[in-house]
A and B are shown apart, each in its own frame.
Chain A
Amino acid sequence: MFEAVLLTVITAATPLLIAAIGELVVERSGVLNLGVEGMMIMGAVMGFAVANLTGSGALGIFAAILAGVAMSALFGFLVLNLVANQVATGLALTILGIGFSGLIGEAFIGVPGLKLPQIVIPGLSDIPFFGPVFFRQDAIVYISFALVAAVAYTLFKTRVGLILRAVGDNHGSAHALGYSVIRIRFMAVLFGGACSGLAGAYLSLAYTPQWVENMTAGRGWIALALVVFSSWLPLRVIVGAYLFGAVNVLNLHAQAMEMDIPSQFLSSLPYLATILVLVLISANRRLTLVNTPACLGKSFVPDR
């Protein structure tokens, strides 16, 4: 029983984890991309469509990542090159993504999907309890943990990470030191797009292997909240994502147990939990201010 619950938590947490770790990198560079939801839904529809047409899950994942990157490039061009308002442009990205995905996905409604195969790690997967939970997952679950580790290492142990954080904390100084603020931010934005696309692919290829309109259902926004929850520290994103994954599946299991609670109330729990967590975190000024990138959301125009 517990094992089964934990397995569903992992499936619910993985897309949140991947999208949030991508956005964390974007925000560390000083850019706020509110379009996660739009990039994610484009990843979901492109991943599903390409996997369905080619029969290859790997190609589907690749297409989803490309879709996320393309969307984020659009965002990057507007906010970095044209200095458009970041909040409004992020919203535009979400509205556009939901529209485009609806148009593309219309042909795929009700079409049976393709589920990513489990990758069984020999030996380890035979361990009781831990085996099935940790070593019998699909590729994206493994990738999600590798991503978090890679981001944590890169941000805090490498020169690239140092430069990225410098750009996010003080773009004026980084520019004066000769770093191209716009180019570095653009790279971070593209990375965020790739992660969001991948997270979308997980939804339509593993979580529920089908295409349903608006299937991200606010997960992109929850991923944004998770970045705040983590106070911009990669390892804490895991905690947040799994916490929210658990809240997400509560609905499923409560319904299975035929508890007498309106399903709408249970469905609203992830959103209410997000608000609660945001309040608790932001009420603690000391905790948030230490790690918040100082230039988050501020535009940069190099004065030449």
Chain B
Amino acid sequence: MRIELVKRKEQSKAMALLSPVIAIALTALSAAIIFSLTGHNPALGLYKFFIEPLTQQWSLEATIDKATPLILIACGLAICYLSNNWNIGAEGQFIIGALFGSFLPILFPDFENGATLPLMLVSGALGGALWALIPALLKTRFNTNEILTSLMLVYVASLLLDYLVRGPWRDPGGFNFPESRMFSDAATLPEVFGGALSLATPITLVIAIVLAVLLAKTLKGFEIRVMGQSPRAGSFAGFSAKGLTLFSFALAGALAGLAGTMEVSGALNQLLPTISPGYGFTAIIVAFLGRLNPLGIIVAGFVLALSYIGGEAVQTALGVSNKIASVIQGLLLFFVLACDTLILYRVRVISRRAPGGEASHV
């Protein structure tokens, strides 16, 4: 048996919409298999993991809270990946953004007025952008592989966070616990919709929609897509590959940094040695599941956030380790990438030595 790919004349529109759905279905099927292998009722497991969190208000709110940073980070990553810039260090940009966003409430706790929060958000975005510009500049200036450098900077960022909360930024009145002081009210992101959601969610949705318009309707969006698909054609059009590398990294870093600041200001209210359950890496999956389209990413962010909540749910209900969530996330990305093949190619399975197989294609 042999698998042969036949290139489609043009991209399949139907498959572009269907492939994420097929991928999710295959992931659910694999999850069911894992549940049965670990001795649990697969139907119950799937229900607890994927459905039950949607039926209760608190878990729905928790899912939206988790989806928010994922969507914001993934939107920036999508711009990078569309333009062929492989930024995989969003986790580090998230952390550095959180650090830049927190220096005001931690070092100047008495600075409390209407400007505190806006300054924090701007500073957080700036921090993330600066951190992301390191691999971008190394790529444009020295031709250094951005995949490896952006990833290495994740480790450096988390060590820096660890150092600060255990050292100079530790809460002086905190009994030596490795955590910063709590943020004042002026430095806390307000809640909206009667306390159901953090302000981070509407901010994120607005940014995602703006980016969707930018990509679909503006020259910059055209530049991003052209440079990703054919840098040579783009350079004839006068687009600069280096400029776009810097732009996309800075944008992705700024969004990740903003997400980091909103997470510490809204959800955590202080700095801790670990501030992210791997949002920066999960956002890579979100970006691909959302087909690198900000509107798709909003949906995909929700799906991936569900996996965090679902993981907790099956742990309490069935006693399955919540590690199953990251397995399901990884499987999902695999299936998404595999199904994307269907957009560009038709898959033919040819049995060995069958007529119409090798013989007719000499």
Chain B residues with CB below 8 A from A172, complex form: none
**Are A95 and B333 interface neighbours, CB within 8 A?**
yes
- A91 contacts partner chain B, Cβ-Cβ < 8 Å: yes
- B341 contacts partner chain A, Cβ-Cβ < 8 Å: yes
**Are B334 and A221 interface neighbours, CB within 8 A?**
no
**Are A265 and B163 interface neighbours, CB within 8 A?**
yes
- A274 contacts partner chain B, Cβ-Cβ < 8 Å: yes
Chain A residues with CB below 8 A from B330, complex form: 92, 95-100
Rounded to whole angstroms, the CA-CA distance of A88 and B337 in the bound complex is: 8
Stretch at the interface among A121-129, A137-145, A275-283: A275-283
**Are A82 and B341 interface neighbours, CB within 8 A?**
yes
Chain B residues with CB below 8 A from A301, complex form: 5, 7, 345
0/1 per residue, B68-107, Cβ < 8 Å to A? 0000000000000100001010000000000000000000
Chain A residues with CB below 8 A from B160, complex form: 264, 268
- B276 contacts partner chain A, Cβ-Cβ < 8 Å: no
**Are B148 and A224 interface neighbours, CB within 8 A?**
yes
- B216 contacts partner chain A, Cβ-Cβ < 8 Å: no
Rounded to whole angstroms, the CA-CA distance of A224 and B152 in the bound complex is: 11
- A132 contacts partner chain B, Cβ-Cβ < 8 Å: no
Within B171-203, which residues are at the interface with A (CB < 8 Å)?
A: none
In whole Å, how far is A124's beta carbon from the nearest beta carbon of chain B? 39
**Are B148 and A262 interface neighbours, CB within 8 A?**
no
Rounded to whole angstroms, the CA-CA distance of A45 and B331 in the bound complex is: 18
Rounded to whole angstroms, the CA-CA distance of A83 and B340 in the bound complex is: 10
Rounded to whole angstroms, the CA-CA distance of A98 and B156 in the bound complex is: 19
In whole Å, how far is A26's beta carbon from the nearest beta carbon of chain B? 15
**Can you name the residue of chain A whose Cβ is closest to the Cβ of B3?**
A81
In the complex where A78-B337, A264-B163 touch, is A83 in contact with B327 (Cβ < 8 A)? no
CB < 8 Å A-B pair total: 138
Contact size class for B?
A: 35 or more
In the complex where A74-B334, A88-B337 touch, is A218 in contact with B148 (Cβ < 8 A)? no
Chain B residues with CB below 8 A from A159, complex form: none
Chain B residues with CB below 8 A from A99, complex form: 323, 325-330
- B138 contacts partner chain A, Cβ-Cβ < 8 Å: yes
- A228 contacts partner chain B, Cβ-Cβ < 8 Å: yes
Chain A residues with CB below 8 A from B152, complex form: 218, 221, 225, 271-272, 274-275
In the complex where A102-B326, A283-B142 touch, is A89 in contact with B337 (Cβ < 8 A)? yes
Stretch at the interface among B50-58, B112-120, B243-251, B280-288: B280-288
Q: Looking at B81, B86, B148, which has the most chain A CB atoms within 10 Å of its CB?
A: B148
Within B331-350, which residues are at the interface with A (CB < 8 Å)?
A: 331, 333-334, 337-338, 340-341, 344-345, 347
**Are A87 and B156 interface neighbours, CB within 8 A?**
no
**Are B333 and A282 interface neighbours, CB within 8 A?**
no
Interface class of chain A by DSSP: helix
- B229 contacts partner chain A, Cβ-Cβ < 8 Å: no
- B352 contacts partner chain A, Cβ-Cβ < 8 Å: no
Q: Looking at A91, A93, A288, which has the most chain B CB atoms within 10 Å of its CB?
A: A91
Contacting residue for A95 out of B144, B145, B326, CB 8 A: B326
Within A180-211, which residues are at the interface with B (CB < 8 Å)?
A: none
**Are A282 and B153 interface neighbours, CB within 8 A?**
no
Chain B residues with CB below 8 A from A97, complex form: 330
Rounded to whole angstroms, the CA-CA distance of A228 and B329 in the bound complex is: 30
**Can you name the residue of chain B whose Cβ is closest to the Cβ of A82?**
B341
- A149 contacts partner chain B, Cβ-Cβ < 8 Å: no
**Are B340 and A103 interface neighbours, CB within 8 A?**
no
- B15 contacts partner chain A, Cβ-Cβ < 8 Å: no
**Are B333 and A91 interface neighbours, CB within 8 A?**
yes
**Are B86 and A100 interface neighbours, CB within 8 A?**
no
Q: Looking at B153, B284, B327, which has the most chain A CB atoms within 10 Å of its CB?
A: B327
Rounded to whole angstroms, the CA-CA distance of A82 and B336 in the bound complex is: 12
19 extra A-B contacts, CB within 8 A, seeds A224-B148, A264-B162, A278-B148 = A74-B334, A82-B337, A82-B347, A83-B5, A92-B334, A93-B334, A95-B284, A95-B329, A96-B331, A99-B323, A99-B330, A102-B323, A103-B326, A218-B152, A265-B163, A268-B155, A272-B156, A275-B144, A283-B144
27 A–B contacts, CB within 8 A, in A order:
A82-B347, A85-B340, A87-B86, A87-B147, A89-B334, A92-B285, A92-B330, A92-B334, A93-B334, A95-B330, A96-B331, A99-B328, A100-B327, A106-B321, A224-B148, A268-B156, A271-B155, A271-B156, A272-B152, A272-B156, A274-B152, A275-B138, A275-B148, A275-B153, A278-B145, A279-B149, A288-B143
Q: Give B residues with C-beta under 8 Å from A.
A: 3-5, 7, 81, 86, 88, 138, 142-145, 147-149, 151-153, 155-156, 159-160, 162-163, 166-167, 281, 284-285, 288, 321, 323-331, 333-334, 337-338, 340-341, 344-345, 347, 361
Q: Give A residues with C-beta under 8 Å from B.
A: 34, 74, 78, 81-85, 87-89, 91-93, 95-100, 102-103, 106, 217-218, 221, 224-225, 228, 262, 264-265, 267-268, 271-272, 274-275, 278-279, 282-283, 285, 288, 301, 304
| 5 nearest CB pairs, A to B | A96-B330, A99-B326, A264-B163, A99-B327, A92-B333
